[in-house]
């Protein structure tokens, strides 16, 4: 199957001169994956909800100011390769080209709908993201926005004082709040109104009830639930729906779809455009080198995510790197920050190795205790 089978030629198009206020209204009224931006009929890029959320630009600013050049896809690209492009480009939509001409767009929903039967043998527990970022009901909207930016996530489960799940805040909820705020008549300085909006508690913004899925459920059931409810993710819970175990998103499923059976470890990089003095090959080789030290553990997949902060040092941006390994013994992660992509990766890799050593030590202790108990049982 190639992309021409599932891409669509129907999409919303605006010019680079369009006001952001109008584009915010488009997202509010029609909730598209993205808006395609053109200049004199030529493709320039896209605008997504995430960009609107991260942008500090006012309503009268032009669309060209935040246009995003997401990866381009050939009309006859393989579906798995396209899934990888969406994951590594950190986008839910990609423009589809025939030669040099924009032919249409392909979305994550279209891909998942086409391959949903492929996931009946995979469980949510195999691919979901554990250790989710959560917030409390009184967490301010300003803090919510900062957490989404810092961790590159689109949804934050909301917990009450007892630690139980009561709601969820998504980028859509935040954009919806901003649009409604912009449409309401204001009194006094806009900056003051913005400050008051950012002080709103998550409880006033969150969606409820929360769509959940059991960790032992199949991924095809999870995908059907997300497509039927028109949502981008589910909160993963154990037997008690009040407790948060993790989050499963469409991106997690796309990442699983694009796993390879190559000789080398499958390593996927989100925001690959941020690589500077380090290459994909070096990243893969460094992770493989650490994994080989622990032969008793099978690494199924590695995901590396980069995020650029605004802070710089001598022109080099402060970067954040997250490495997550999916293994036959669970998920292991390492996070680090540094100036430049390579420095951030090295710090994260060092923490990853320390976490692996700790896991190995815990396993060794457990094996020793098991041996001791078996010996005692024979006395």
Q: What's 315's domain CATH number? A: 3.30.160.100
What domain count does the chain have?
3
Domain identity same for 243 and 264 = no
Domain identity same for 79 and 94 = yes
* Full residue range of the structural domain in which residue 153 is found: 124-254
CA proximity to 129, closest of 217, 247, 235, 250: 247
Domain identity same for 200 and 95 = no
Which pLDDT score is estimated for 223? 95
Long-range CB contacts (within 8 A, 24+) of 338-346: 339/312, 339/313, 340/276, 340/277, 340/316, 341/274, 341/275, 341/276, 341/277, 341/278, 341/306, 342/276, 342/277, 342/278, 343/319, 344/306, 344/319, 344/320, 345/278, 345/283, 345/286, 345/304, 345/306, 345/321
Domain identity same for 247 and 153 = yes
Going through the chain in order, the beta strands assigned E by DSSP cover 13-15, 35-39, 42-47, 73-74, 93-98, 101-107, 129-130, 135-136, 155-159, 165-170, 212-214, 233-237, 246-249, 267-270, 299-313, 316-327, 330-339
Inside any domain, residue 89: yes
Domain identity same for 333 and 310 = yes
Inside any domain, residue 34: yes
Distance CA 90, CA 140 (A): 26
Q: CB–CB of 90/68 below 8 Å?
A: no
Domain identity same for 290 and 342 = yes
Q: What is the DSSP letter of 201?
A: B
- Among 195, 220, 254, the domain boundary falls at 254
**pLDDT (tens digit, 0 to 9) for every residue of the chain, 379 residues total?**
778 889 998 999 999 999 988 998 898 888 888 899 998 888 998 998 777 776 767 888 898 888 888 888 999 998 888 988 888 888 889 999 998 889 999 999 999 999 888 888 889 988 888 878 999 999 999 999 888 877 778 899 999 998 899 999 998 888 777 666 655 554 444 445 556 788 899 999 999 889 999 999 999 999 999 999 999 999 999 866 678 889 999 988 998 887 654 445 678 888 888 898 898 889 988 988 888 877 667 777 788 989 888 899 989 999 999 998 877 777 788 999 999 999 999 999 999 998 888 776 544 444 444 544 454 444 4
Burial 140-162 (b: 16+ CB within 10 A, else e): bbebbbebbeebbbbbbbbbeee
Give the pair of three-digit tokens for residue 254.
Answer: 């796309």
Cα 217 versus chain centre, distance: 21
Domain identity same for 280 and 344 = yes
Which pLDDT score is estimated for 194? 59
- Among 54, 73, 108, the domain boundary falls at 108
**Where does residue 265 rank: exposed (0-12), middle (13-18), buried (19+ CB within 10 A)?**
middle
Inside any domain, residue 8: yes
Strands 101-107 and 93-98: antiparallel
Inside any domain, residue 114: no
Inside any domain, residue 379: no
Q: What is the DSSP letter of 218?
A: B
- Among 69, 84, 108, the domain boundary falls at 108
Inside any domain, residue 375: no
Residue 50 DSSP SS3: helix
């Amino acid at each position: 199957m190639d992309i021409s089978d599932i891409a669509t030629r129907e999409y919303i198009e605006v010019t680079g001169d369009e006001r952001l206020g109008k584009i915010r209204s488009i997202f509010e009224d029609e909730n598209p994956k993205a808006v395609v931006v053109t200049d004199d009929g030529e493709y320039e890029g896209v605008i997504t909800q995430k960009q609107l959320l991260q942008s500090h630009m006012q309503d009268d600013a032009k669309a060209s100011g935040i246009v995003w050049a997401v990866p381009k896809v050939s009309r006859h690209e393989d579906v798995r390769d396209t899934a990888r492009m969406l994951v590594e480009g950190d986008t839910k939509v990609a423009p589809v080209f025939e030669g040099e001409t924009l032919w249409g767009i392909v979305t994550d929903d279209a891909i998942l709908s086409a391959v949903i039967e492929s996931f009946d043998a995979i469980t949510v527990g195999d691919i979901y993201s554990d250790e989710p970022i959560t917030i409390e009901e009184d967490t301010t909207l300003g803090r919510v926005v900062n957490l989404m930016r810092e961790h590159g996530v689109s949804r934050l489960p909301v917990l009450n004082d007892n630690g139980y799940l009561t709601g969820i805040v998504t980028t859509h909820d935040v954009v919806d709040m901003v649009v409604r705020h912009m449409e309401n008549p204001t009194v006094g300085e806009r900056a003051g109104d913005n400050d008051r909006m950012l002080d709103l508690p998550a409880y006033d913004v969150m969606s409820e009830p929360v769509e959940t899925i059991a960790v032992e459920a199949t991924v095809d059931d999870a995908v059907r639930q997300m497509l039927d409810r028109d949502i981008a993710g589910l909160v993963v819970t154990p037997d008690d729906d009040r407790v948060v175990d993790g989050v499963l998103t469409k991106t997690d499923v796309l990442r699983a779809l694009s796993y390879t059976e190559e000789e080398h470890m499958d390593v996927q990089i989100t925001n690959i455009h941020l690589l500077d003095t380090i290459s994909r090959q070096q990243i893969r080789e460094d992770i493989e080198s650490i994994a080989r030290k622990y032969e008793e553990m099978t690494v199924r997949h590695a995901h590396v995510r980069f995020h650029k902060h605004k802070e710089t040092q001598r022109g080099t941006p402060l970067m954040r790197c997250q490495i997550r390994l999916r293994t036959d013994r669970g998920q292991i992660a390492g996070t680090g920050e540094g100036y430049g992509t390579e420095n951030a990766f090295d710090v994260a890799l060092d923490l990853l190795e320390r976490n692996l050593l700790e896991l190995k030590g815990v396993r060794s202790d457990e094996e020793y205790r098991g041996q001791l108990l078996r010996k005692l049982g024979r006395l």
